[in-house]
Structure 1
Amino acid sequence: MQPVLSHPCSWWFHVLLVSNLLLWENVYSVPMCFGMEGYSELSIEELFDSAIVMAQHISNLTTQMSEEFDANFLHSLVYKTKNSSTCHTTSLATPASNEQIQQTQSDVLLKMVISISRAWYHPLKQLVRAVATLEGACKTMLLKVIDVEEANQEILKEFKAILVMVHPGAEENIYPAWMGLADVKSANEDTRNIALSNLLHCLDSDTDKVAIYLEALKCRIIPNNNC
């Protein structure tokens, strides 16, 4: 028999983690300040390469998280989830095809990438708290959520450094607000699970867009890139 703390889905793991997390907070109580120490020393190609690798890592993890959550917590609720509310980033007019991506100016596309990632800053923090307190969630799922939340903060610094280097003086766009905290914190299990599944599906879609847009931007901005 495995010791309690070594079991991959041990509830005690979550108890220990939650004891080190802040209590649930208002969605916009923490200001977003991203320093760029060290990034100014990198070349534009190095910044792009690093950001693309991280974006692909985030995208892969979010796909795994979404599939794992649906398999373990939705069951008969799949149909409801697929027909649930739209993503909070829907207000961003993002290009959906390769042709639309190519028709979008580089500075606009880059600021769009930043807006998408900033829009997930607070939802990801709440997602970490939600999964940490979700009975039955495996340790691996929680670690993936934490990894994505931390990687999103890091990649935002790289995006900012790229924007400053490629388009000096460019102002960032306003990012859309997330208003789904009440459902994510709901005491009703079905409401909470549907909200979390929808959040993960939206995150999966948006992180995939970011990775695709970065590849397109690198092909435009970096010469002799064999695109």
Structure 2
Amino acid sequence: MFQLLLVSSLLWEYVVPTPMCLDLEGYNEVSIEEIFDRAIVMAQYTSNLTTQISEEFDENFAESLGYKARNSSTCHTASLATPEDNEQIQQTQSDDILKVMISISRAWYHPLEHLVRAVAVVKGACETMLSKVKEVEKKNEELLEEMKKILVRVHPGAEENVYPAWMGLAEVRSDNEDTRHFALSNLFHCLRCDADKVATYLLVLRCRVIHNNNC
């Protein structure tokens, strides 16, 4: 046994550990076009999901409240200065558009966490709705990372903007069911609008950065 242990120890002395590190060079070889394409697919998928969730929730839980889509001024992201039409987008610098998209995504990080918990306890909510909300939460995090990569590649050294805090937790947790449903309906409406904005901005930016606006 002693001889076996001795041989084993001698063998381990000649084992060269393989270094564990990120292949940064390989990452840098990923084209900006590929990163844009990946982000756009995520953004459009997320936008479609938020539309489905918002419509499904209103149909099942908010129509009885006489709910009508609120103006975006009630959204917690309304304080962000976002271009509202193609002309305004074209007049906005690429780094400013990227930074506002990142701010939008960050602003939804905590609300989405609470949306998952809130939908999980809504009486009558089907499992597919909950799975869609969880998927949006996941895609929002993934999309945020892709947009940060684009910002680093297109505008190295650019700093991210601050993002607005969400203050609607009390309504989402209210003991009154109508208040909860109304708050969730409004939150889904805001999420839908912001997801659509991000998807639109990414398409315009891809055209600007990759094709020099020749699309």
Structure 2 residue identity aligned to 1:56? Q
Shift of 1:216: 0.6
Match of 2:154 in 1: 166
Match of 1:186 in 2: 174
172, 191, 204: which one aligns with 1:203: 191
Match of 2:129 in 1: 141
Specify whether residues 176 and 39 from structure 1 end up closer, same or farther in structure 2 by C-alpha distance, changes over 3 A only: farther
The range that moved more, 70-79 or 109-118, is 70-79
Matched position secondary structure for 1:79:
coil
Q: TM-score, normalised by structure 1?
A: 0.80
Check conservation: 1:94, 1:112, Cα contact below 8 A.
yes
Match of 1:82 in 2: 70
61, 75, 78: which one aligns with 1:73: 61
Check conservation: 1:81, 1:194, Cα contact below 8 A.
no
Q: TM-score, normalised by structure 2?
A: 0.84
User: Identity, % of aligned pairs?
Assistant: 72
- 4+ residue runs of structure 1 moved beyond 6 angstroms? none
Deviations along 1:117-152, one digit per CA (max 9) or x if unpaired, are 111011001100100111110011001000000000
Q: Which runs of 5+ in 1 are unaligned?
A: 1-36
Structure 2 residue identity aligned to 1:123? P
Check conservation: 1:73, 1:193, Cα contact below 8 A.
yes
Specify whether residues 39 and 134 from structure 1 end up closer, same or farther in structure 2 by C-alpha distance, changes over 3 A only: farther
Specify whether residues 41 and 121 from structure 1 end up closer, same or farther in structure 2 by C-alpha distance, changes over 3 A only: farther
Report which of the two structures shows the higher radius of gyration computed on alpha carbons.
2
197, 200, 203: which one aligns with 1:215: 203
Structure 2 residue identity aligned to 1:162? I
Match of 2:83 in 1: 95
Greater per-residue helix proportion: 2
Matched position secondary structure for 1:116:
helix
Match of 1:30 in 2: none
Shift of 1:74: 1.2
Check conservation: 1:80, 1:194, Cα contact below 8 A.
no
Q: Which runs of 5+ in 2 are unaligned?
A: 1-23
Name the CA distance, whole Å, in 2 between partners of 1:49 and 1:80: 35
Name the CA distance, whole Å, in 2 between partners of 1:50 and 1:200: 24
